[in-house]
């Protein structure tokens, strides 16, 4: 496989994951009075990355949460994967499941105060994260 094919597969997988996240947010917020906007959904990825970094560096967050977030980072950076990432869609599905489970654990165990203190985005983005983590 050529380098550009690998790059194209990675970018395609990321776009599909992003669309799946937006679809999940739309579906989960259908019964709520406050709908999640497309802008909030698009900003959610970078905001979650910054939130993760801030939670890991905060000594008041429980050690178990920080350890799991560091393990998640190591898993995502590891070149060997459960399902190879060059397989379209399925290659990123395992990563998406692992990320969702660890973020759900971290947001539930860090507590709402830590989330509000470290959330870098908009209040609507924080509501979207709470919705995804099952906190609302």
**pLDDT digits over 58-96, tens only?**
999 999 999 999 998 888 777 677 777 667 667 767 777
User: What is the C-alpha separation between 90 and 120, in angstroms, rounded?
Assistant: 30
User: What is the C-alpha separation between 105 and 107, in angstroms, rounded?
Assistant: 6
CB 92 within 8 A of CB 17: yes
What is the overall mean pLDDT for the chain? 80
∠ CA 77-11-126, nearest 5°, is 70
Residues of the chain above pLDDT 90, percent: 18
Cβ burial 118-131 (10 Å sphere, 16+ → b, else e): bbebeebbbbbbbb
């Amino acid at each position: 496989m050529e380098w550009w094919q690998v790059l194209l597969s990675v970018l395609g997988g990321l776009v599909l994951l992003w669309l799946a996240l937006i679809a999940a947010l739309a579906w989960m917020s259908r019964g709520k009075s406050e709908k999640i906007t497309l802008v909030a959904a698009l900003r959610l990825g970078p905001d979650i990355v910054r939130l993760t970094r801030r939670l890991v560096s905060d000594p008041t967050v429980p050690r178990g949460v920080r350890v799991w977030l560091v393990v998640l980072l190591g898993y995502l950076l590891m070149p060997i994967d459960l399902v190879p990432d060059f397989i379209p869609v399925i290659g990123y599905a395992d990563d998406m499941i692992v990320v969702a489970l660890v973020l759900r654990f971290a947001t539930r165990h860090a507590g709402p105060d830590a989330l509000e203190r470290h959330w870098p985005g908009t209040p609507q983005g924080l509501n979207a994260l709470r919705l995804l983590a099952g906190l609302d």
